[in-house]
Structure 1
Amino acid sequence: MDNIAGRKPALTWVVHLSVVVLVALWLLPTLGLLVSSFRTADQISNSGWWSAFSAQERQAPAIRLEGEEQQQGATYVIEGTLFPATDTTLTAWGTSSRAPQAYEPGQSVDLDDGWQLVVDDRGLFRLSAPQSFEGERLPRVFTTATTPPEFTLQNYGNVLSGSTSGAGVGQAFLNTLTVSIPATVIPILVAAFAAYALAWMEFPGRALLVAAVVGLLVVPLQLALIPLLQLHNDIGIGKGYLGVWLAHTGFGLPLAIYLLRNYMVGLPKDIIENARVDGATDFQVFVKIVLPLSFPALASFAIFQFLWTWNDLLVALVFLGTDDDRLVLTARLVNLMGSRGGQWEILATSAFVSIAVPLMVFFAMQKYLVRGLLAGSVK
């Protein structure tokens, strides 16, 4: 009875639950990063992103009273406001750090020398005394206030324009595009020709070349960084975009050739043989038949290569250096964390800007990713 048609095995529900958990583990941090990128620095430092849509109660640093005194009869008065924002609601206040919530809004408090202080729920204060305040040090006030949710686009303006003392990632964003797009297109072009040759052309040593490509998949790229950089310096290209394009091409070719060759081998043999009987050359067969039919595999590798080059830090630092005019996004984020680790709003916005393009590329081409990876698995 366990194998009755139409009944799902119990393991299916375990798989579904595991997928839901994995999606939640990936989605929740991304959602938190997105929400934090629109929040102000004060709200990020005082509450989590999950409470961004509700009013926040926080204790502000001590505020020293200040203002112009006015004489009202025999009494000297200083009036003003503690909060620049009118939508902030005071819930408690105090004049000592040991009791920052000692008084309620509107409560009048007697201080030393006959001074009286009252603070209402809007943060308006009135300090009065029988003598002038000139030369006197005015008291500090500790406040606990409720502020409404606040969102701003200023974080993105600061990040993209670089108005926060050079913290902008606008130039780094363009630099990353300059690296990623050619470093994705060049390996695909080279690998497509090589994959066709290994799949459909007969020549001596083809099996050894396929074995060499598979062997190169397990070689760590870190082993080749320094020798490759020395080679670039010897031939005169040094550190620059050409060097990083060639480096990414070399490191990405083994996987590209392996994926595309396995896909092309699974294409219908009759179509290619009929084209050759009709007089088509290998180049015509490749351009007019194999290449259009291999689009899912090409798109699959394009996703892998683009995500790798976009998120790369090591290769970019080795072959581009640390100059600001050629710094990529990942290196810019490292600098932000190293020098301005307290500016969480800048870090959250920069991080979300850096993942926005890979997310769009992945969701736009994910159907080709699945088709390309599963090609040839079922005959």
Structure 2
Amino acid sequence: MASIAGKKSALTWAVHISVALLVLLWLFPTIGLFVSSFRTADQISSSGWWAALFPAEQNEVYRAADPDDNRVADGDMFVVKGNIFEGDPRDIRSWGVSSRNVSAYQPGDTAEMKDGESVTLQADGSYVWRGNDKQLSGRGQRIFITATVPPEFTLGNYTTILFSGSGQDNMAKAFFNTLTVTIPATIIPIVVAAFAAYALAWMEFPGRALLIAAVVGFLVVPLQLALIPLLRLHLGIGIGKGYLGVWLAHTAFGMPLAVYLLRNYMVGLPRDIIENAKVDGATDFQIFTRIILPLSFPALASFAIFQFLWTWNDLLVAKVFLIDATGSTTVMTNQIVELLGTRGGNWEILATAAFVSIAVPLAVFFAMQRYLVRGLLAGSVK
């Protein structure tokens, strides 16, 4: 009775719910990264991305004006007056003069310090700092406030990432370096694998079955196992560490999957089309370019998605084949690692850099995802 027409089985509902949960698990971090990339460092540290549209309390540090230029005599003491807010005022909830207790006082209270020194802060940010000649010298007094801050979004993070810095701090340079690596490393294996897949699918020659078995066997070879031998080969033949080396490395590592995927798809194409073309006098090259390639576009697009995403997000191969101290060939994954080391506390910069890194793969996936399932299921049924 579970398969009555018009009713979905429990398994169908379970599949739908599981897919929905997987989509949400993927979607929430992506949205969070996108929202965080437009927030300031103070807002990121004070509240989560889901609260970005609402006012939030956060701690801020200000300094009183330079006492050497702004102090005024008041009997035996000196006074410095001013306002800590140079831009938009804040709704001050509490304040303090020590990082150990940033909420010690309320607006309007006076903080009494040693030897008669004192600070009075009002709700609008105006202050009166009083002390003797020795106390009111050097840098201004630090004032910590806890204030309610309205939502704030900025494009400054993207400006910092894309248009500032040089060498290893230039994300824009790393972005174009990544494109330089990814585009050829996606096109080259597709072109080579398409010819090989056609030969394994439709051309009769001795040892074809062994070659197909070898391709399947290469699918399980760990990437790490081949890195050192391949690097030694590159150094031995003079390729060295550069774009050519990383293109050939990605081509070698992506070739087994490409040949396997394309061969399975081409085998499933109607045999009558190929035989009729041969009867009409078409050569294998003409059949391949005019018939097989157009019909195999879903499988080509499916592999292109995998290869592009894998190459774009790769760090290991780039570390091995693109070591460059000057940053002229640094890719985005390596650039983000550098930012983690040099700007580990700048979460807004890291969030922006990470979103810039995933923006292109997202665009590629959504543009070609309709071909993904068709290409993956190719050859699975007859």
Quick check: TM above 0.5? yes
Task: Write out per-residue CA displacement over residues 51-86 of structure 1, whole angstroms, 9 at most, x where no aligned residue.
Answer: 222212123347456441335799964211223332
Gaps of 5+ in 2: none
Whether the aligned pair in 1 keeps the contact of 2:89 and 2:125 (CA below 8 Å) is no
| Equivalent residue for 1:211, pick from 198, 210, 213 | 213
Gaps of 5+ in 1: none
Counterpart of 2:377 in structure 1 is: 374
SS in 1 for 2:169: coil
Task: Write out per-residue CA displacement over residues 100-140 of structure 1, whole angstroms, 9 at most, x where no aligned residue.
Answer: 434332345666676664322221113457xxx43324765
Matches within 5 A, 1:1-379: 1-61=1-61, 63=63, 66-67=66-67, 68-70=70-72, 77-95=79-97, 100-107=102-109, 117-127=119-129, 133-137=132-136, 140-163=142-165, 166-323=168-325, 324-379=327-382
CA distance in 1, matches of 2:360, 2:4: 47
Greater shift in the superposed pair: 60-69 or 214-223: 60-69
Task: Write out per-residue CA displacement over residues 323-357 of structure 1, whole angstroms, 9 at most, x where no aligned residue.
Answer: 31111111111111123211211111111111111
Q: In 2 relative to 1, CA 147–203 (structure 1 residues): closer, same or farther, beyond 3 Å?
A: same
The alpha carbon displacement at 1:204 in A equals 1.0
Whether the aligned pair in 2 keeps the contact of 1:78 and 1:128 (CA below 8 Å) is yes
SS in 1 for 2:29: helix
Aligned residues: 376
Alignment RMSD, CA only? 2.4
**What TM-score do the two structures reach when normalised by structure 2?**
0.91
**What TM-score do the two structures reach when normalised by structure 1?**
0.92
CA distance in 1, matches of 2:178, 2:144: 47
Q: In 2 relative to 1, CA 139–354 (structure 1 residues): closer, same or farther, beyond 3 Å?
A: closer
Whether the aligned pair in 2 keeps the contact of 1:299 and 1:372 (CA below 8 Å) is yes
1:238 counterpart letter in structure 2: G
2:21 counterpart letter in structure 1: V
1:346 counterpart letter in structure 2: I
CA distance in 2, matches of 1:317, 1:96: 45
CA distance in 2, matches of 1:164, 1:239: 22
SS in 1 for 2:328: helix
CA distance in 1, matches of 2:322, 2:113: 64
SS in 1 for 2:92: strand
The alpha carbon displacement at 1:165 in A equals 8.9
Q: In 2 relative to 1, CA 152–279 (structure 1 residues): closer, same or farther, beyond 3 Å?
A: same
SS in 1 for 2:197: helix
1:160 counterpart letter in structure 2: L
2:272 counterpart letter in structure 1: D
2:330 counterpart letter in structure 1: L
Whether the aligned pair in 2 keeps the contact of 1:95 and 1:142 (CA below 8 Å) is yes
CA distance in 1, matches of 2:17, 2:10: 11
CA distance in 2, matches of 1:115, 1:185: 72
